[in-house]
Structure 1
Amino acid sequence: MKALILAAGLGERMRPLTEHTPKALLAAGGKPLIVWHLERLAARGVRDVVINTSWLARQFPKALGDGTPWNLRIRYSHEGDTPLETGGGLWHALPLLGNEPFIALNGDVWTDFDLARLPAQPAGDAHLVLVDNPPHHPQGDFRLAVDGDVYDDGSQRLTFAGIGVYRASLFDDWRRIIGSAPGAEAEPPRFRLAPLLRAAMAEGQVTGEHHRGRWTDVGTPQRLAELDRSLAQPQG
Protein backbone atom coordinates (compact mmCIF):
# COMPACT_ATOMS: atom_id res chain seq x y z
CA MET A 1 0.00 0.00 0.00
CA LYS A 2 1.30 3.45 -0.91
CA ALA A 3 0.79 6.73 0.93
CA LEU A 4 0.67 10.44 0.18
CA ILE A 5 1.59 13.14 2.68
CA LEU A 6 0.11 16.53 1.82
CA ALA A 7 2.83 19.05 2.58
CA ALA A 8 2.47 21.71 -0.13
CA GLY A 9 0.65 24.39 1.88
CA LEU A 10 2.00 27.90 2.30
CA GLY A 11 1.60 27.80 6.08
CA GLU A 12 0.31 31.36 6.20
CA ARG A 13 -1.31 30.99 9.64
CA MET A 14 1.99 29.70 11.01
CA ARG A 15 4.00 32.80 10.10
CA PRO A 16 6.66 33.77 11.06
CA LEU A 17 7.66 30.13 11.73
CA THR A 18 7.02 29.15 8.12
CA GLU A 19 8.85 32.04 6.49
CA HIS A 20 11.93 29.83 6.18
CA THR A 21 10.62 26.35 7.07
CA PRO A 22 7.70 24.44 5.50
CA LYS A 23 4.99 23.70 8.05
CA ALA A 24 5.39 19.93 7.84
CA LEU A 25 9.09 20.29 8.72
CA LEU A 26 8.43 22.25 11.91
CA ALA A 27 9.44 20.24 14.96
CA ALA A 28 7.31 18.94 17.83
CA GLY A 29 8.54 16.45 20.38
CA GLY A 30 12.07 16.64 19.01
CA LYS A 31 11.37 15.82 15.34
CA PRO A 32 9.60 17.30 12.35
CA LEU A 33 5.85 16.76 12.14
CA ILE A 34 6.24 14.84 8.90
CA VAL A 35 8.69 12.40 10.49
CA TRP A 36 6.00 11.27 12.93
CA HIS A 37 3.94 10.33 9.86
CA LEU A 38 6.84 8.57 8.17
CA GLU A 39 7.49 6.47 11.26
CA ARG A 40 3.85 5.46 11.58
CA LEU A 41 3.57 4.66 7.89
CA ALA A 42 6.65 2.45 8.10
CA ALA A 43 5.17 0.69 11.13
CA ARG A 44 1.96 0.16 9.09
CA GLY A 45 3.99 -1.67 6.47
CA VAL A 46 3.91 1.08 3.86
CA ARG A 47 7.07 1.24 1.76
CA ASP A 48 6.28 3.81 -0.94
CA VAL A 49 5.50 7.37 0.13
CA VAL A 50 4.78 10.39 -2.05
CA ILE A 51 5.14 13.88 -0.58
CA ASN A 52 3.55 16.78 -2.43
CA THR A 53 5.50 20.02 -2.20
CA SER A 54 5.31 23.66 -3.19
CA TRP A 55 6.40 26.26 -0.62
CA LEU A 56 10.13 25.89 0.12
CA ALA A 57 9.98 22.56 -1.71
CA ARG A 58 13.75 22.04 -1.87
CA GLN A 59 13.93 21.65 1.90
CA PHE A 60 12.05 18.33 1.86
CA PRO A 61 14.60 16.19 -0.02
CA LYS A 62 17.37 17.86 1.97
CA ALA A 63 15.69 16.88 5.25
CA LEU A 64 14.20 13.51 4.29
CA GLY A 65 16.21 12.26 1.35
CA ASP A 66 14.88 9.15 -0.35
CA GLY A 67 13.36 7.71 2.84
CA THR A 68 16.13 5.21 3.59
CA PRO A 69 16.34 6.05 7.34
CA TRP A 70 12.74 4.80 7.72
CA ASN A 71 13.03 1.91 5.27
CA LEU A 72 10.79 3.87 2.91
CA ARG A 73 11.00 4.92 -0.73
CA ILE A 74 10.07 8.62 -0.91
CA ARG A 75 9.17 10.40 -4.13
CA TYR A 76 8.14 14.03 -4.44
CA SER A 77 5.18 15.49 -6.33
CA HIS A 78 6.15 19.10 -6.90
CA GLU A 79 3.20 21.41 -7.64
CA GLY A 80 5.05 24.54 -8.64
CA ASP A 81 4.93 27.86 -6.82
CA THR A 82 1.15 27.73 -6.24
CA PRO A 83 -0.20 24.80 -4.18
CA LEU A 84 -2.96 22.83 -5.88
CA GLU A 85 -5.10 22.51 -2.72
CA THR A 86 -6.15 19.13 -1.34
CA GLY A 87 -8.07 17.78 -4.32
CA GLY A 88 -5.67 19.07 -6.94
CA GLY A 89 -2.73 17.81 -4.91
CA LEU A 90 -4.12 14.28 -4.73
CA TRP A 91 -5.07 14.31 -8.41
CA HIS A 92 -1.62 15.56 -9.43
CA ALA A 93 0.05 12.76 -7.42
CA LEU A 94 -2.11 9.91 -8.78
CA PRO A 95 0.43 8.85 -11.44
CA LEU A 96 2.91 8.17 -8.60
CA LEU A 97 0.33 6.39 -6.43
CA GLY A 98 -1.02 3.91 -8.95
CA ASN A 99 -4.43 2.30 -9.19
CA GLU A 100 -4.65 0.63 -5.78
CA PRO A 101 -6.16 2.36 -2.70
CA PHE A 102 -3.70 4.64 -0.93
CA ILE A 103 -3.40 6.40 2.41
CA ALA A 104 -3.35 10.20 2.45
CA LEU A 105 -2.30 12.25 5.48
CA ASN A 106 -2.32 15.99 6.06
CA GLY A 107 1.25 16.95 6.83
CA ASP A 108 0.19 19.47 9.47
CA VAL A 109 -1.59 17.14 11.90
CA TRP A 110 -0.22 15.06 14.75
CA THR A 111 -2.01 12.03 16.13
CA ASP A 112 -1.50 8.75 17.96
CA PHE A 113 -3.92 7.03 15.57
CA ASP A 114 -2.72 3.54 14.64
CA LEU A 115 -2.55 3.50 10.85
CA ALA A 116 -2.80 -0.30 10.94
CA ARG A 117 -6.52 0.18 11.61
CA LEU A 118 -7.06 1.66 8.15
CA PRO A 119 -8.62 -0.72 5.61
CA ALA A 120 -6.39 -1.74 2.73
CA GLN A 121 -9.52 -2.03 0.58
CA PRO A 122 -12.19 0.53 1.57
CA ALA A 123 -15.79 -0.45 0.88
CA GLY A 124 -16.34 2.63 -1.31
CA ASP A 125 -14.26 5.40 -2.81
CA ALA A 126 -12.96 6.72 0.52
CA HIS A 127 -12.58 5.85 4.20
CA LEU A 128 -12.08 8.77 6.59
CA VAL A 129 -10.84 9.10 10.14
CA LEU A 130 -12.96 11.51 12.19
CA VAL A 131 -12.23 13.04 15.60
CA ASP A 132 -14.11 15.01 18.25
CA ASN A 133 -14.54 18.64 17.26
CA PRO A 134 -11.69 20.81 18.55
CA PRO A 135 -12.41 24.24 20.07
CA HIS A 136 -11.36 26.05 16.88
CA HIS A 137 -13.75 23.96 14.74
CA PRO A 138 -16.85 23.33 16.91
CA GLN A 139 -19.24 22.79 13.98
CA GLY A 140 -17.41 19.71 12.70
CA ASP A 141 -17.41 18.43 9.12
CA PHE A 142 -19.29 15.16 8.60
CA ARG A 143 -21.71 12.80 10.33
CA LEU A 144 -20.66 9.23 11.09
CA ALA A 145 -23.62 6.84 11.03
CA VAL A 146 -23.88 3.75 13.23
CA ASP A 147 -23.22 1.51 10.23
CA GLY A 148 -19.94 3.32 9.48
CA ASP A 149 -21.15 5.35 6.51
CA VAL A 150 -20.24 9.04 6.44
CA TYR A 151 -22.67 11.79 5.42
CA ASP A 152 -22.64 15.52 4.87
CA ASP A 153 -25.94 16.13 6.66
CA GLY A 154 -27.10 15.99 10.26
CA SER A 155 -26.24 17.83 13.43
CA GLN A 156 -24.00 15.31 15.20
CA ARG A 157 -20.90 16.08 13.19
CA LEU A 158 -17.30 15.12 13.78
CA THR A 159 -14.15 16.73 12.39
CA PHE A 160 -12.20 15.19 9.53
CA ALA A 161 -8.79 14.29 10.93
CA GLY A 162 -6.89 14.71 7.65
CA ILE A 163 -6.35 10.94 7.52
CA GLY A 164 -8.01 8.74 4.93
CA VAL A 165 -7.80 5.92 2.43
CA TYR A 166 -8.83 6.74 -1.13
CA ARG A 167 -9.40 5.03 -4.44
CA ALA A 168 -8.44 6.77 -7.65
CA SER A 169 -12.09 6.34 -8.72
CA LEU A 170 -12.98 9.19 -6.36
CA PHE A 171 -11.61 11.49 -9.08
CA ASP A 172 -13.36 9.89 -12.06
CA ASP A 173 -15.91 12.71 -12.40
CA TRP A 174 -14.01 15.52 -10.75
CA ARG A 175 -14.43 18.05 -13.56
CA ARG A 176 -18.22 17.85 -13.45
CA ILE A 177 -18.28 18.00 -9.65
CA ILE A 178 -15.87 20.92 -9.37
CA GLY A 179 -17.40 22.76 -12.29
CA SER A 180 -16.13 26.28 -12.87
CA ALA A 181 -14.60 26.77 -9.42
CA PRO A 182 -11.53 29.07 -9.44
CA GLY A 183 -8.43 27.12 -10.41
CA ALA A 184 -10.28 24.20 -12.00
CA GLU A 185 -9.23 25.24 -15.51
CA ALA A 186 -5.60 25.85 -14.58
CA GLU A 187 -2.85 23.47 -15.65
CA PRO A 188 -2.37 21.57 -13.46
CA PRO A 189 -5.85 22.06 -11.97
CA ARG A 190 -6.31 23.48 -8.48
CA PHE A 191 -9.36 22.41 -6.43
CA ARG A 192 -10.49 21.26 -3.02
CA LEU A 193 -11.15 17.65 -2.03
CA ALA A 194 -14.29 18.31 0.03
CA PRO A 195 -16.71 18.64 -2.95
CA LEU A 196 -15.59 15.24 -4.27
CA LEU A 197 -16.07 13.66 -0.85
CA ARG A 198 -19.54 15.16 -0.50
CA ALA A 199 -20.52 13.87 -3.94
CA ALA A 200 -19.25 10.40 -3.00
CA MET A 201 -21.16 10.55 0.30
CA ALA A 202 -24.37 11.25 -1.60
CA GLU A 203 -23.74 7.99 -3.48
CA GLY A 204 -23.01 6.01 -0.29
CA GLN A 205 -19.35 5.65 -1.23
CA VAL A 206 -17.66 6.97 1.93
CA THR A 207 -17.11 5.10 5.20
CA GLY A 208 -15.32 6.23 8.32
CA GLU A 209 -14.30 5.64 11.90
CA HIS A 210 -14.12 7.72 15.06
CA HIS A 211 -10.67 8.13 16.61
CA ARG A 212 -11.01 9.05 20.28
CA GLY A 213 -7.31 9.31 21.02
CA ARG A 214 -4.91 12.21 20.65
CA TRP A 215 -5.06 14.47 17.62
CA THR A 216 -3.88 18.02 16.92
CA ASP A 217 -4.40 20.23 13.90
CA VAL A 218 -1.12 22.15 14.06
CA GLY A 219 -2.53 25.28 12.45
CA THR A 220 -1.03 28.04 14.59
CA PRO A 221 2.26 28.67 16.42
CA GLN A 222 0.36 28.39 19.71
CA ARG A 223 -0.97 24.92 18.90
CA LEU A 224 2.49 23.83 17.79
CA ALA A 225 3.95 25.02 21.11
CA GLU A 226 1.20 23.25 23.06
CA LEU A 227 1.84 20.03 21.16
CA ASP A 228 5.57 20.29 21.75
CA ARG A 229 5.00 20.71 25.48
CA SER A 230 2.58 17.78 25.64
CA LEU A 231 4.96 15.46 23.81
CA ALA A 232 7.70 16.36 26.24
CA GLN A 233 5.55 15.05 29.13
CA PRO A 234 5.64 11.35 30.01
CA GLN A 235 2.44 9.63 28.89
CA GLY A 236 0.64 7.39 31.34
Structure 2
Amino acid sequence: MKAMILSAGKGERMRPLTLTTPKPLLSAGGQPLIVHHIERLRDAGFSDIVINHAWLGEQIEARLGDGEAFGVSIRYSAEGEPLETAGGIIRALPLLTDAGDDWFLVVNGDIWSDFDFSQLQAPANADALLVMVSNPPHHPEGDFHLQDNGFLNPDGTEKLTFSGISVLHRRLFDELDDSAGKLGPVLRRAMARNRVTGLHHNGQWVDVGTPERLQSLDQWLHERARTS
Protein backbone atom coordinates (compact mmCIF):
# COMPACT_ATOMS: atom_id res chain seq x y z
CA MET A 1 0.00 0.00 0.00
CA LYS A 2 1.29 3.47 -0.88
CA ALA A 3 0.83 6.59 1.21
CA MET A 4 -0.10 10.14 0.26
CA ILE A 5 0.65 13.27 2.30
CA LEU A 6 -1.71 16.13 1.46
CA SER A 7 0.47 19.23 1.16
CA ALA A 8 -1.14 21.56 -1.38
CA GLY A 9 -2.94 24.04 0.88
CA LYS A 10 -1.92 27.69 1.07
CA GLY A 11 -1.98 27.68 4.87
CA GLU A 12 -3.84 30.97 5.09
CA ARG A 13 -4.58 30.57 8.81
CA MET A 14 -0.85 30.19 9.42
CA ARG A 15 0.10 33.54 7.93
CA PRO A 16 2.52 35.28 8.07
CA LEU A 17 4.55 32.08 8.51
CA THR A 18 3.27 30.60 5.25
CA LEU A 19 3.87 33.68 3.12
CA THR A 20 7.37 32.40 2.40
CA THR A 21 7.26 28.78 3.63
CA PRO A 22 4.75 26.07 2.67
CA LYS A 23 2.91 24.83 5.74
CA PRO A 24 4.30 21.24 5.62
CA LEU A 25 7.83 22.66 5.96
CA LEU A 26 7.06 24.63 9.12
CA SER A 27 9.17 23.27 11.95
CA ALA A 28 8.00 21.57 15.15
CA GLY A 29 10.36 19.81 17.50
CA GLY A 30 13.36 20.63 15.34
CA GLN A 31 12.15 19.34 11.98
CA PRO A 32 9.42 20.06 9.40
CA LEU A 33 5.95 18.73 10.03
CA ILE A 34 6.08 16.66 6.86
CA VAL A 35 9.32 14.97 7.94
CA HIS A 36 7.58 13.70 11.09
CA HIS A 37 5.05 12.01 8.77
CA ILE A 38 7.68 10.57 6.45
CA GLU A 39 9.65 9.05 9.31
CA ARG A 40 6.57 7.55 10.97
CA LEU A 41 5.37 6.14 7.65
CA ARG A 42 8.80 4.66 6.96
CA ASP A 43 8.96 3.11 10.42
CA ALA A 44 5.52 1.58 9.84
CA GLY A 45 6.68 -0.07 6.61
CA PHE A 46 5.49 2.41 4.00
CA SER A 47 8.25 2.91 1.44
CA ASP A 48 6.38 4.59 -1.45
CA ILE A 49 5.04 8.06 -0.70
CA VAL A 50 3.19 10.54 -2.93
CA ILE A 51 3.10 14.22 -2.00
CA ASN A 52 0.87 16.73 -3.72
CA HIS A 53 1.78 20.37 -3.67
CA ALA A 54 0.86 23.76 -5.08
CA TRP A 55 1.72 26.82 -2.99
CA LEU A 56 5.54 27.10 -2.84
CA GLY A 57 5.68 23.46 -3.84
CA GLU A 58 9.16 23.78 -5.31
CA GLN A 59 10.44 24.26 -1.76
CA ILE A 60 8.93 20.92 -0.73
CA GLU A 61 10.64 19.11 -3.61
CA ALA A 62 13.94 20.85 -2.90
CA ARG A 63 13.81 19.92 0.80
CA LEU A 64 12.70 16.29 0.43
CA GLY A 65 14.06 15.27 -2.96
CA ASP A 66 13.33 11.72 -4.04
CA GLY A 67 13.13 10.52 -0.45
CA GLU A 68 16.41 8.60 -0.45
CA ALA A 69 17.71 10.60 2.50
CA PHE A 70 14.74 9.35 4.56
CA GLY A 71 14.83 5.75 3.38
CA VAL A 72 11.71 6.04 1.20
CA SER A 73 10.74 6.78 -2.39
CA ILE A 74 8.88 10.08 -2.90
CA ARG A 75 6.98 11.15 -6.00
CA TYR A 76 5.14 14.41 -6.44
CA SER A 77 1.75 15.41 -7.80
CA ALA A 78 2.14 19.07 -8.74
CA GLU A 79 -1.15 20.94 -8.94
CA GLY A 80 -0.22 24.47 -9.90
CA GLU A 81 -3.35 26.03 -8.50
CA PRO A 82 -4.27 24.02 -5.39
CA LEU A 83 -7.11 21.54 -5.71
CA GLU A 84 -9.33 20.66 -2.76
CA THR A 85 -8.62 17.44 -0.87
CA ALA A 86 -10.71 15.04 -2.99
CA GLY A 87 -9.51 16.68 -6.20
CA GLY A 88 -5.90 16.39 -5.11
CA ILE A 89 -6.30 12.70 -4.33
CA ILE A 90 -7.98 12.05 -7.67
CA ARG A 91 -5.21 13.88 -9.53
CA ALA A 92 -2.68 11.62 -7.76
CA LEU A 93 -4.54 8.32 -8.27
CA PRO A 94 -2.30 7.20 -11.18
CA LEU A 95 0.71 7.44 -8.84
CA LEU A 96 -1.08 5.84 -5.88
CA THR A 97 -2.43 2.81 -7.69
CA ASP A 98 0.11 2.15 -10.46
CA ALA A 99 1.41 -0.95 -8.68
CA GLY A 100 -2.00 -2.61 -8.79
CA ASP A 101 -3.10 -1.97 -5.19
CA ASP A 102 -6.40 -0.08 -5.09
CA TRP A 103 -6.01 0.84 -1.40
CA PHE A 104 -3.80 3.69 -0.19
CA LEU A 105 -3.18 5.67 2.99
CA VAL A 106 -3.81 9.42 3.12
CA VAL A 107 -2.61 11.79 5.85
CA ASN A 108 -3.05 15.54 6.10
CA GLY A 109 0.28 17.36 6.00
CA ASP A 110 -0.77 19.86 8.67
CA ILE A 111 -1.35 17.51 11.58
CA TRP A 112 0.95 15.81 14.08
CA SER A 113 0.12 12.53 15.77
CA ASP A 114 1.75 9.60 17.50
CA PHE A 115 -0.64 7.25 15.69
CA ASP A 116 1.04 4.03 14.57
CA PHE A 117 0.38 3.79 10.82
CA SER A 118 1.11 0.05 10.89
CA GLN A 119 -2.29 -0.41 12.59
CA LEU A 120 -4.06 0.52 9.37
CA GLN A 121 -5.41 -2.26 7.20
CA ALA A 122 -7.87 -2.23 4.34
CA PRO A 123 -11.35 -2.77 5.83
CA ALA A 124 -13.67 -5.49 4.61
CA ASN A 125 -17.01 -4.47 3.08
CA ALA A 126 -16.11 -0.77 3.02
CA ASP A 127 -14.51 1.87 0.83
CA ALA A 128 -12.73 3.82 3.57
CA LEU A 129 -11.34 3.60 7.09
CA LEU A 130 -11.00 6.87 9.01
CA VAL A 131 -8.95 7.41 12.16
CA MET A 132 -11.04 9.43 14.60
CA VAL A 133 -9.90 11.37 17.67
CA SER A 134 -11.61 12.97 20.65
CA ASN A 135 -12.84 16.47 19.88
CA PRO A 136 -10.25 19.21 20.48
CA PRO A 137 -11.29 22.52 22.10
CA HIS A 138 -11.35 24.32 18.74
CA HIS A 139 -13.69 21.71 17.20
CA PRO A 140 -16.04 20.62 20.01
CA GLU A 141 -18.88 19.54 17.72
CA GLY A 142 -16.85 16.80 16.04
CA ASP A 143 -17.41 15.37 12.56
CA PHE A 144 -18.82 11.84 12.50
CA HIS A 145 -20.45 9.35 14.87
CA LEU A 146 -18.61 6.05 15.37
CA GLN A 147 -21.25 3.36 15.78
CA ASP A 148 -20.86 0.22 17.89
CA ASN A 149 -20.52 -1.86 14.71
CA GLY A 150 -17.45 0.15 13.65
CA PHE A 151 -19.13 2.06 10.85
CA LEU A 152 -19.27 5.86 10.72
CA ASN A 153 -22.38 7.97 10.38
CA PRO A 154 -22.52 11.72 9.66
CA ASP A 155 -25.27 12.06 12.27
CA GLY A 156 -25.33 11.18 15.95
CA THR A 157 -25.32 12.79 19.36
CA GLU A 158 -21.74 11.77 20.18
CA LYS A 159 -19.38 12.66 17.36
CA LEU A 160 -15.62 12.36 17.09
CA THR A 161 -13.23 14.44 15.00
CA PHE A 162 -11.71 13.10 11.79
CA SER A 163 -7.95 13.07 12.35
CA GLY A 164 -6.98 13.52 8.71
CA ILE A 165 -5.61 9.96 8.60
CA SER A 166 -7.42 7.42 6.46
CA VAL A 167 -7.16 4.37 4.24
CA LEU A 168 -9.15 4.80 1.03
CA HIS A 169 -10.11 2.64 -1.96
CA ARG A 170 -9.97 4.14 -5.42
CA ARG A 171 -13.63 3.18 -6.09
CA LEU A 172 -14.57 5.90 -3.57
CA PHE A 173 -13.81 8.32 -6.40
CA ASP A 174 -15.50 6.50 -9.27
CA GLU A 175 -17.07 8.90 -11.80
CA LEU A 176 -15.36 11.90 -10.16
CA ASP A 177 -12.58 14.08 -11.58
CA ASP A 178 -10.11 16.44 -9.98
CA SER A 179 -12.76 19.16 -9.76
CA ALA A 180 -14.54 17.05 -7.12
CA GLY A 181 -13.76 19.52 -4.32
CA LYS A 182 -13.38 18.53 -0.68
CA LEU A 183 -13.14 14.99 0.66
CA GLY A 184 -15.86 15.48 3.29
CA PRO A 185 -18.87 15.31 0.94
CA VAL A 186 -17.38 12.25 -0.80
CA LEU A 187 -17.08 10.49 2.56
CA ARG A 188 -20.59 11.49 3.62
CA ARG A 189 -22.06 10.00 0.45
CA ALA A 190 -20.19 6.78 1.15
CA MET A 191 -21.41 6.81 4.77
CA ALA A 192 -24.97 7.00 3.49
CA ARG A 193 -24.28 3.64 1.80
CA ASN A 194 -22.70 2.27 5.00
CA ARG A 195 -19.30 2.05 3.33
CA VAL A 196 -17.04 3.90 5.80
CA THR A 197 -15.55 2.40 8.95
CA GLY A 198 -13.62 4.11 11.73
CA LEU A 199 -11.36 3.57 14.69
CA HIS A 200 -10.77 5.81 17.71
CA HIS A 201 -7.19 6.87 18.39
CA ASN A 202 -6.75 7.84 22.04
CA GLY A 203 -3.16 9.01 21.75
CA GLN A 204 -1.62 12.35 20.84
CA TRP A 205 -3.00 14.36 17.92
CA VAL A 206 -2.70 18.02 16.97
CA ASP A 207 -4.36 19.95 14.16
CA VAL A 208 -1.54 22.40 13.47
CA GLY A 209 -3.84 25.04 12.02
CA THR A 210 -2.63 28.23 13.67
CA PRO A 211 0.74 29.73 14.67
CA GLU A 212 -0.26 29.34 18.32
CA ARG A 213 -0.89 25.61 17.98
CA LEU A 214 2.36 25.20 16.05
CA GLN A 215 4.26 26.95 18.84
CA SER A 216 2.57 24.82 21.48
CA LEU A 217 3.42 21.62 19.60
CA ASP A 218 7.01 22.77 19.13
CA GLN A 219 7.42 23.40 22.85
CA TRP A 220 5.81 20.06 23.76
CA LEU A 221 8.04 18.09 21.37
CA HIS A 222 11.19 19.77 22.64
CA GLU A 223 10.14 19.10 26.24
CA ARG A 224 9.39 15.45 25.43
CA ALA A 225 12.81 15.11 23.79
CA ARG A 226 14.54 16.53 26.88
CA THR A 227 12.76 14.16 29.27
CA SER A 228 12.90 11.00 27.18
Which interval holds the TM-score relative to the shorter structure? over 0.9
- Aligned pairs (5 A) from 1:111-126: 111-119=113-121, 121-123=122-124, 124-126=126-128
- Per the alignment, residue 65 of structure 2 pairs with 65
- What one-letter code is carried by the residue in structure 2 that aligns with 1:210? H
- Distance of 1:173 and 1:132 partners within structure 2: 33
State the Cα distance separating 1:174 from its structure 2 match: 3.4
- 8 Å contact from structure 1 (residues 87, 193) kept in 2: yes
State the Cα distance separating 1:147 from its structure 2 match: 1.5
- Aligned pairs (5 A) from 1:212-223: 212-223=202-213
- Aligned pairs (5 A) from 1:1-12: 1-12=1-12
Select which of 136, 141, 144 maps to 2:143: 141
- Per the alignment, residue 156 of structure 2 pairs with 154
- What one-letter code is carried by the residue in structure 2 that aligns with 1:199? R
- Distance of 2:215 and 2:20 partners within structure 1: 18
State the Cα distance separating 1:190 from its structure 2 match: 5.0
- What one-letter code is carried by the residue in structure 2 that aligns with 1:217? D
- Distance of 1:202 and 1:131 partners within structure 2: 21
- Tell me the percent identity: 55
- 8 Å contact from structure 1 (residues 52, 93) kept in 2: yes
- Per the alignment, residue 39 of structure 1 pairs with 39
- Aligned pairs (5 A) from 1:73-88: 73-80=73-80, 82-88=81-87
Unaligned stretches of 5+ residues in structure 2: none
Aligned length: 222
Unaligned stretches of 5+ residues in structure 1: 176-187
- Distance of 2:74 and 2:83 partners within structure 1: 20
Aligned: 1:92 with 2:91: yes
- 8 Å contact from structure 1 (residues 83, 190) kept in 2: no
Report the 3-state secondary structure (helix = DSSP H, G, I; strand = E; otherwise coil) of the residue aligned with 1:113. Answer: coil
Runs of 4+ in structure 1 displaced over 3 angstroms? none
| TM-score, reference length from structure 1 | 0.91
Select which of 103, 106, 109 maps to 1:107: 109
Report the 3-state secondary structure (helix = DSSP H, G, I; strand = E; otherwise coil) of the residue aligned with 1:104. Answer: strand
Q: Deviations over 1:150-205 (max 9, x none)?
A: 11111100000000000000001437xxxxxxxxxxxx525011111001111111
- What one-letter code is carried by the residue in structure 2 that aligns with 1:3? A
Report the 3-state secondary structure (helix = DSSP H, G, I; strand = E; otherwise coil) of the residue aligned with 1:154. Answer: coil
Q: Deviations over 1:10-69 (max 9, x none)?
A: 000000000110001000000000001000110111111000000001001110010002
- Distance of 1:226 and 1:22 partners within structure 2: 19
